[in-house]
């Protein structure tokens, strides 16, 4: 529990800020950040790619749509909680049926940008362009592998799995750092998706 105190304090502080200011109305990504930090601070939420994707080497349990999440489903749900209809956009994406026969509620790291394009209001940058000027709420992505949300101060909130530096296990809930705050740097990001307004 101690390891999550930083995320919890940040989540509580930001939820007060969001509740008492017009900031979130200007940038809905603040609501996404706060929601994701609240999930990270709650050990009932861990990492899973869903029991339907379990293998002998990766014996996932439960669902990737809550209470456990994988990297992309955490971002999809955070955006949806902020009023950004990315789940609806994903369900209109041809890959929704082609890849998953319409059975996976949220997309993957490589489908986030096409789905954000359908919604509008986001600009795509290369990591090299903006790595020294990241903004809270930026979505950091390596489309073939991983995605996270930048929370400021050089950190992300993300679902990182059981093989993260803080530990974890293949069961529902967080037994380590499965969903937590991590350094944003040295991670191989290639793209950044920033809310720039409609």
Q: What percent of the chain has pLDDT over 90?
A: 58
Contact, 136 vs 33, CB < 8 A?
A: yes
Query: Cα angle at 159 between 24 and 28, to 5 degrees?
Result: 10
Q: How would you label 73-106 residue by residue, b for 16+ Cβ within 10 Å and e otherwise?
A: bbbbbbbbbbebebbebbbeeeebeeeeeeebbb
Question: Coil, strand, or helix at residue 195?
Answer: strand
Q: What is the mean pLDDT of residues 27-43?
A: 96
pLDDT value for 4: 53
Assess whether pLDDT exceeds 90 at residue 35.
yes
pLDDT value for 16: 43
pLDDT value for 82: 97
DSSP 140-161: EEETTTEEEEEEETTEEEEE--
Q: What is the mean pLDDT of residues 67-82?
A: 95
pTM: 0.87
The Cα–Cα gap between 37 and 180 comes to 8
Assess whether pLDDT exceeds 70 at residue 37.
yes
Contact, 48 vs 61, CB < 8 A?
A: yes
Average pLDDT over the chain, rounded to an integer: 86
Q: What is the CA radius of gyration of the chain?
A: 16
pLDDT value for 6: 56
């Amino acid at each position: 529990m101690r390891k999550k105190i930083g995320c919890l304090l940040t989540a509580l502080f930001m939820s007060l800020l969001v509740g008492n200011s017009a900031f979130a109305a200007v940038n809905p990504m603040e609501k996404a950040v706060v929601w994701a930090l609240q999930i990270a601070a709650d050990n009932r939420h861990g990492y899973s790619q869903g029991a339907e994707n379990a293998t002998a080497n990766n014996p996932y349990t439960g669902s990737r749509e809550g209470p456990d999440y994988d990297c992309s489903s955490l971002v999809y749900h955070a955006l949806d909680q902020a009023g950004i209809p990315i789940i609806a956009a994903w369900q209109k994406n041809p890959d929704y049926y082609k890849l998953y026969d319409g059975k996976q509620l949220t997309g993957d790291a490589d489908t986030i940008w096409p789905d954000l394009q359908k919604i509008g209001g986001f600009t795509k940058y290369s990591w090299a362009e903006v790595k020294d000027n990241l903004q809270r709420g930026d979505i950091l992505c390596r489309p073939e592998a991983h995605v996270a949300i930048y929370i400021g101060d050089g950190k992300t909130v993300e679902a990182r799995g059981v093989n993260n530096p803080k530990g974890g296990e293949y069961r529902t809930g967080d037994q380590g750092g499965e969903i937590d705050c991590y350094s944003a740097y040295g991670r191989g990001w290639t793209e950044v998706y920033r809310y720039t307004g409609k």
